[in-house]
Amino acid sequence: MPSSFKRPDWEQAPVVVIGAGLAGLTVALQLAERHRVIVLAKRNADEGATAWAQGGIVGVLGDDDSVDSHVRDTLDAGGGLVDEQTARYIAERSAQAISWLLDRGVAFSPDPTGPLGLHLTREGGHAVRRIAHAADATGKAIHDTLLEAVAQHPNISLRARWMAVDVITSRHLKREEPTRCYGVYALDIDAQRVETLHAGAVVLACGGAGKVYRYTTNPDTATGDGIAMAWRAGCRVGNMEFVQFHPTCLYHPTDRSFLISEALRGEGGLLKLPDGTRFMPAHDPRGELAPRDVVARAIDFEMKKHGVDHVWLDASHLGEVFLREHFPTIYARCLALGIDIARQPIPVVPAAHYTCGGVVTDLAGRTDVPGLYAVGETTYTGLHGANRLASNSLLECVVLGRSCADHILQSDPPANVDAPDWDESQVEDADEQVVIAHNWDELRLLMWNYVGIVRTTRRLERAWARIQLLRGEIDDYYANFRVNRDLLELRNLVDCAELIVRSALMRHESRGLHYSRDFPDALPVSFPTILGRAAHSRERRTDRQDRPSLFD
C-alpha cells in the first residue's frame, strides 16, 4: 500500500446504508453499537415498501412445524430454482429473527396459547400456520418500531430526501486495481446538490423495481435503484425475469395500489367470477392457497376468458367481527371506498408486487465488488427461485440484514482515498420536464403490455427494441442536464427494464413467474439466469458455484 495512504477508523469511514426499509434498518441497528452509520431515504423515511407489507413474517415456531417443512414449502414455491442451502440457512434463523424483533418492541398479534405468545396465521404455499403478524399491518408495525429506534440512536444519521446517484468505485478514482467500492454520490433533493459520501462500506437496501410496471402494489420508492447502481458498478444480477404479480390488488378507479393481503385467502377468502362461481379448484387442487404465480395466472386467464376487468375475492362468510379483528386495515380502507367486505366481495386484479431477482450476493450480503453489500428485495440470494413464498421476504431482510452487519463488523475499512467531487460544469438546468414524464409513462406501459404475467418472444423483442430507443433519450438527457430524483429514477428503471427483458429472452421455458406462450413447458433441468458485466458482455445461465459464498 502506498505510504501516502493511511488506514482510517470507522468513525472516519462510516457505513452508508441506502434505503430505510426493514433490511436497511436491520443493518443499521446491528452496526450502530460499534460503527457510525448514515441511512439515506430518498423520500420520507416512512414511505418504503416495508410499511406496506400486510401479511407477516415467517417463523418456524410451532410444535407442528419444522425447518424441513419450511424449506420444503420454499422449494416447492420456487419452481426448482431455490438454493436449498440459502433456504435452510434462513429458515434455521427464523425463530431468532422473530425474537430479535420482539426484543425491539414489535407488537405482533398475541395469542396466549401460541408459541412465544403469538398468533400465527397461514398463507398460500405454507403447509402450516407459521406467519407472525400484527393484524393486517405487519410491515408498518415492524417499520415504525425500528424506525423510531434508528432515529434515536446517537451513532445513526438518518437523512430523509437523499437519493443515491451512483456507487463510487475504482473507476471514478481512475485507479488501476480490481474494482472496489469507496462510497457513494448522493443527491440532497431539497438542496439540489450532489454530495460525495466516503464510506467504509456501502449497503444497498433500496427495495425492488415494481414501478417499472404501470400497475403495481409497490410504493413510489420501488424504482430498482440498488439493482441499477450495482449493475453499473460491475456486479452480476440474477433471475430478473421472475417478477411476482400479487394476485389480489384492489381494483378501484381511485386506489390502484392497495394490496388485499394473501392472509385473507389464508383465512378462507374465496376467488369468484362475476356470477359467483369459484374458479381456483379448476386450476390447482390447493385452490386459493396455491402459490402466488399459480393464482395470478389463473386470474389473468379467467379475466381474458370472460372479458372482465377484475374478479371477486369474497370473505363475507367470515363475518364482520372476525374481519374487523383480523383485517382492520383492509376493512377500513375498503369501507372508505364504499366496499363493505363483510357483506360484499372485493374487486381484485393482479399487479406487479415483488422482484424475485436482483444483485447476486452471498449470505453475508457481499456483492462482486468489495466494500459493496446488498440486502432485501434488491438482491438475488437464491431464496426465492422462480417464485417467492409468501412472507419469506421480511424474514430474509432480518436474517441476512443481521449477517450482513456481522460481516461488516468483522472487516477493516478500505484505505482512505479522495474521490473526486461530482462534476456539473458541463451540464445545465433542464429546459422542460415533460420528456422525463413521457418516457416514464411509456416505459411502464410497454413493460405492462409486453413483459407481464404471460409473455411471448415477439412481445419481448418489441419491448427490447423500444427500451433501446428510450435508453438513448434518457442517457442523452442525463449527460446534458442536472440530475433530479425523477431523472435518476427513470435512469434506474430503464436499466432494470432492460435486465428483465434480457433475462426473459434467455429463458426458453415456462417456470414459476415466467410464463411464455412460445415455450409453455418447463425444461427437465434448469438454472438461474445470471447476467454479468465482467467483460460488458458476459451473460449465461449457471449453477451458483462461481458466486461469492459465505461458506468459502
Which residues have C-beta within 8 Å of that of residue 469, sequence separation ≥ 6? none
Distances, alpha carbon 229 to alpha carbons 359, 403, 423, 429, in Å = 10, 22, 18, 23
Could you give the CA distance from residue 273 to residue 290 in angstroms, rounded to a whole number? 18
E strand segments, 356-503: 358-360, 372-374, 379-380, 454-455
Cβ–Cβ contacts within 10 Å for residue 126, how many?
26
Could you give the CA distance from residue 89 to residue 82 in angstroms, rounded to a whole number? 12
Sign of CA dihedral 371, 377, 383, 387: negative
Which residues have C-beta within 8 Å of that of residue 534, sequence separation ≥ 6? 234
171 flagged as catalytic? no
Could you give the CA distance from residue 216 to residue 212 in angstroms, rounded to a whole number? 9
Which residue, chain included where needed, has cell 371506498? 337
Could you give the CA distance from residue 20 to residue 38 in angstroms, rounded to a whole number? 10
Which residues have C-beta within 8 Å of that of residue 197, sequence separation ≥ 6? 16, 38, 183, 184, 185, 186
Which amino acid appears at position 331 of this protein? Answer: Y
Asked if 58 contacts 94 with a C-beta cutoff of 8 angstroms, the reply is yes
Could you give the CA distance from residue 101 to residue 317 in angstroms, rounded to a whole number? 34
Catalytic residue, from 292, 297, 491, 511: name it.
Answer: 292
Q: Note the Cα 374 to chain centre separation in Å.
A: 11
Nearest in space to 141 (alpha carbons), one of 40, 52, 38: 52
Could you give the CA distance from residue 70 to residue 434 in angstroms, rounded to a whole number? 49
* Residues annotated as part of the active site: 292
